[in-house]
Chain A
Amino acid sequence: MGEEEGLHQTPFLDTMFVRGLKRKCFDGEEDIEGTLAGIKAIPSYNLQRQSLLDMSLVKLQLCHMLVEPNLCRSVLIANTVRQIQEEMTQDGTWQMINTQSTGQASLDRLVSTDILCRSSRDHQAEGKHGPAYGTFNKDFESDQAQDNSETMSTASAVQTPRNLQSNVWEMESPQENKGNFQKSLDQIFETLENKSPNTVEDLFSEVDNSYYDLDTMLTGMMSNTKMGHCDSLETFPSPTNTASNSNCKSDLNDLDHIVEILVES
């Protein structure tokens, strides 16, 4: 069962977090050397924290359910993410990542974590009771969005429980993810709040924007954005990493194609 697997596959994370460690000063070089020296050693606190952050973001994104997601759970996860962000801001990790960004330094730039969440919820790929206003086009879009977001989420979720080594791909999370989840967290709740668009036009306009952002986010995730402390980690031989990268790249091509169609339509 998933639960049992999960319990066995993150022993390192457990041992790290239980100690309630104080934050180490961020020092990319040392961390990388440390990790290089002992692959079997417990990964650094920063890696652990990063992994937790990614896991949390994936959890917030996995919202394509037919039923409204559990608000309590979402709030608790969002608070955890905020906590990590605050700590990363304090120890300078945050600034490091920001300066390495591809020209978007602002923390407030719109990200699609919540939009992905919202767009997933807006669609029922196999809904028994499709909305009355559903058209063929919209259903087509729904299916594609669902599939794509599912591919992404599944890929991410699969990476997370494995040995941290293979989380290199996870580590290459885009600037978008880090820089904007603050705003996106807020927007998640706004989204939950504003779930009843007044007009059909509003609903459709939301859908259109989300595809743009979906594309942006996924593009960002795919590209090997260089992160400060991740540079050397990219050179690690990691078969799983290569495999997933190629999978994702082919997905990206498909996605590109689909988005082209949608944007033009």
Chain B
Amino acid sequence: MFWGRTSTFVQKMKNYRKTDEGTNELQCHPCAPSDIISTVEFNHTGELLATGDKGGRVVIFQREPESKNEPYNQGEYNVYSTFQSHEPEFDYLKSLEIEEKINKIKWLPQQNAAHSLLSTNDKTIKLWKITERDKRPEGYNLKDEEGKLKDLSTVTSLQVPVLKPMDLMVEVTPRRIFANGHTYHVNSISVNSDCETYMSADDLRINLWHLAITDRSFNIVDIKPANMEDLTEVITASEFHPHHCNLFVYSSSKGSLRLCDMRASALCDKHSKLYEEPEDPSNRSFFSEIISSVSDVKFSHSGRYMLTRDYLTVKVWDLNMETKPVETYQVHDYLRSKLCSLYENDCIFDKFECAWNGSDSVIMTGAYNNFFRMFDRNTKRDVTLEASRESSKPRAILKPRRVCVGGKRRKDDISVDSLDFTKKILHTAWHPTENIIAIAATNNLYIFQDKVNSEMH
């Protein structure tokens, strides 16, 4: 596969509102911490791409329809809408701030002309409806063009208002606010395949909501110990099965996965299946538990497999086999000898996400130094690519990167000690059907497209 860049967006949220109306030019601004992208998600058709950032804003990109005139320009993503989803809050009872950072965005399946998505910060989930308006009625009888009431004496005849085209306006409105459901920080949301319910998971509990009901939710998992002194494990991620509306999985900080069936009982504390790989005694260290903590779990599109990311590896699990993963891929094993330093600077706690491609044949995850990795499950080949403005010009092909661990060093190799650990790619997303990927690198969003093979294999 040859990955070329189609567009780069630098998060300059404030300036999106200040664009020059005539030229639509963005003004350059130094990166603010609130511009850091915290989540990326394609919708179900891939036409829209949503990003959330640390400042509580959501930016939605839309793919331009392909035109025959400019075949090289086809499929570029441009800004479609920007809105402020969450604001910072203050919990007076605990004397703590509640961050406005968007932790997750999930699109609802489209059921009418409008698009809907769920966005969440640490405490509150919101349902947003995105609608387009490209026509407006003109020719009212009682009101004039500005909306002021007409002097009735001037009205001599009746007319039927007609719809006239207008510039496209995208309106975003909050339709539901699901508040007060979580004591701890929400790390995941997942829409059920029944399209009526969704779940939200925090460190210790998982709640089931109905999309139309905001004042009630059902607690379906609770791992909070009676005595908080006994707390040794937290929930790190969770997701509904893509086809079976009764099944969901959640991962823990101890590296285990639990598959739960909501038909079995109301409170799914007892798992139906527990997926856990026994520890490798030769690799044991004080950091073994930390690096085994699962930072992300994703079902394959087929529903047959699960993908998990822990600090050094990505693993593919077969739902039918609980004893060990069917595939394990090393993301950056050269860090294994650096764990103490990474513990000291807190990098060992970084939560990387992972993604499947549409046909479940390739998996992708991020790493440090703005590198991201792809593993082909069929050919067993892997590649390391870099997302950066310096190295890739528009439509340039990305060239594979290599990290050398001492020994022979080829030209263009990066040594482990020169890796930039502040440049981490935590959030990545893959288009549902095509070979297009979205990579969030701090405050930059990169969109890459496979030039040779646009369709999935």
Q: Which residues of B contact A17 (CB under 8 A)?
A: 285-287, 339-340
Decide: A20 and B97 in contact? CB cutoff 8 A.
no
Decide: A72 and B286 in contact? CB cutoff 8 A.
no
Q: Smallest distance from the beta carbon of A32 to chain B beta carbons, Å? A: 23
Judge whether B9 is part of the interface by a CB distance below 8 angstroms. no
Q: Which residues of B contact A78 (CB under 8 A)?
A: 232
For B287, the closest partner residue in chain A by CB is: A17
From A3, A68, A127, contact of B347 by CB (8 A): A3
From B285, B338, B340, B422, contact of A20 by CB (8 A): B285
Judge whether A124 is part of the interface by a CB distance below 8 angstroms. yes
Decide: B337 and A14 in contact? CB cutoff 8 A.
yes
Decide: A8 and B96 in contact? CB cutoff 8 A.
no
Rounded to whole angstroms, the CA-CA distance of A63 and B440 in the bound complex is 28
Decide: A20 and B339 in contact? CB cutoff 8 A.
no
For A123, the closest partner residue in chain B by CB is: B95
Judge whether B284 is part of the interface by a CB distance below 8 angstroms. yes
Decide: B342 and A124 in contact? CB cutoff 8 A.
no
Judge whether B80 is part of the interface by a CB distance below 8 angstroms. no
Rounded to whole angstroms, the CA-CA distance of A19 and B231 in the bound complex is 29
Q: Which residues of B contact A6 (CB under 8 A)?
A: 341-342, 344-345
Rounded to whole angstroms, the CA-CA distance of A129 and B234 in the bound complex is 30
Rounded to whole angstroms, the CA-CA distance of A7 and B369 in the bound complex is 14
Q: Smallest distance from the beta carbon of B353 to chain A beta carbons, Å? A: 15
Rounded to whole angstroms, the CA-CA distance of A122 and B95 in the bound complex is 7
- List CB contacts (< 8 Å) of B79-134 with chain A: 90, 92-99, 122
From A1, A20, A160, A187, contact of B283 by CB (8 A): A20
Judge whether B401 is part of the interface by a CB distance below 8 angstroms. no
Judge whether B236 is part of the interface by a CB distance below 8 angstroms. yes
- List CB contacts (< 8 Å) of A36-82 with chain B: 49, 52, 55, 59, 66-68, 70-73, 75-76, 78-80
For A15, the closest partner residue in chain B by CB is: B337
Rounded to whole angstroms, the CA-CA distance of A10 and B342 in the bound complex is 10
Decide: A80 and B287 in contact? CB cutoff 8 A.
yes
Judge whether A131 is part of the interface by a CB distance below 8 angstroms. yes
Q: Which residues of B contact A84 (CB under 8 A)?
A: 286
Rounded to whole angstroms, the CA-CA distance of A160 and B96 in the bound complex is 29
Judge whether B290 is part of the interface by a CB distance below 8 angstroms. yes
Rounded to whole angstroms, the CA-CA distance of A19 and B293 in the bound complex is 21
Decide: A76 and B289 in contact? CB cutoff 8 A.
yes
Judge whether B301 is part of the interface by a CB distance below 8 angstroms. no
Chain B contact-residue range equals 35 or more
**CB-CB under 8 A for A70 and B185, given A20-B284, A190-B229:** yes
- List CB contacts (< 8 Å) of A1-24 with chain B: 1-4, 6-10, 13-18, 20
From B203, B229, B232, contact of A187 by CB (8 A): B229
Rounded to whole angstroms, the CA-CA distance of A230 and B303 in the bound complex is 57
Decide: A52 and B286 in contact? CB cutoff 8 A.
yes
Judge whether A229 is part of the interface by a CB distance below 8 angstroms. no
Rounded to whole angstroms, the CA-CA distance of A36 and B37 in the bound complex is 50
Judge whether A186 is part of the interface by a CB distance below 8 angstroms. yes
Decide: A7 and B233 in contact? CB cutoff 8 A.
no
Rounded to whole angstroms, the CA-CA distance of A122 and B236 in the bound complex is 26
Judge whether B444 is part of the interface by a CB distance below 8 angstroms. no
Decide: B229 and A1 in contact? CB cutoff 8 A.
no
Judge whether A83 is part of the interface by a CB distance below 8 angstroms. yes
Q: Which residues of A contact B340 (CB under 8 A)?
A: 10, 13-14, 16-17, 52
- List CB contacts (< 8 Å) of B316-374 with chain A: 336-347, 349
Decide: A189 and B347 in contact? CB cutoff 8 A.
no
- List CB contacts (< 8 Å) of A191-207 with chain B: 192-193, 195-196
Rounded to whole angstroms, the CA-CA distance of A157 and B286 in the bound complex is 20
Judge whether A161 is part of the interface by a CB distance below 8 angstroms. yes
Judge whether B253 is part of the interface by a CB distance below 8 angstroms. yes
Rounded to whole angstroms, the CA-CA distance of A9 and B344 in the bound complex is 10
Q: Which residues of A contact B290 (CB under 8 A)?
A: 76, 80
Decide: A7 and B285 in contact? CB cutoff 8 A.
no
Q: Smallest distance from the beta carbon of A85 to chain B beta carbons, Å? A: 11
Judge whether B2 is part of the interface by a CB distance below 8 angstroms. no
For B252, the closest partner residue in chain A by CB is: A72
Q: Smallest distance from the beta carbon of B103 to chain A beta carbons, Å? A: 12
Q: Which residues of A contact B94 (CB under 8 A)?
A: 68, 195-196
Chain B CB within 10 Å — which of A2, A71, A76, A79 has the most?
A: A76
Decide: B232 and A14 in contact? CB cutoff 8 A.
no
Rounded to whole angstroms, the CA-CA distance of A49 and B230 in the bound complex is 24
Q: Which residues of A contact B455 (CB under 8 A)?
A: none
Decide: B236 and A72 in contact? CB cutoff 8 A.
yes
Per-residue CB contact flags for chain A residues 160-184 toward chain B (1 = under 8 Å, else 0) read: 1100000000000000000000000
From A16, A83, A189, contact of B231 by CB (8 A): A189
Decide: B232 and A79 in contact? CB cutoff 8 A.
yes
Decide: A75 and B228 in contact? CB cutoff 8 A.
no
Q: Which residues of A contact B90 (CB under 8 A)?
A: 129
For A193, the closest partner residue in chain B by CB is: B228
**CB-CB under 8 A for A189 and B228, given A6-B344, A10-B340:** yes
Q: Which residues of A contact B232 (CB under 8 A)?
A: 75, 78-79
Please name the 7 residue pairs, one residue from A and one from B, whose CB atoms are nearest each other, closest first: A186-B229, A6-B345, A189-B228, A3-B421, A13-B340, A193-B228, A18-B337
Binding site for B on A (CB under 8 A): 1-4, 6-10, 13-18, 20, 49, 52, 55, 59, 66-68, 70-73, 75-76, 78-80, 83-84, 121-122, 124, 127, 129, 131-132, 160-161, 185-187, 189-190, 192-193, 195-196
**12 more CB-based (< 8 A) A-B contacts, given A7-B338, A17-B339:** A4-B421, A7-B341, A8-B341, A10-B344, A18-B285, A18-B337, A20-B283, A20-B285, A68-B96, A75-B231, A76-B253, A132-B92
Give 8 A-B contacts (CB < 8 Å), ordered by A residue: A14-B340, A20-B283, A72-B203, A72-B234, A76-B253, A160-B344, A189-B229, A190-B228
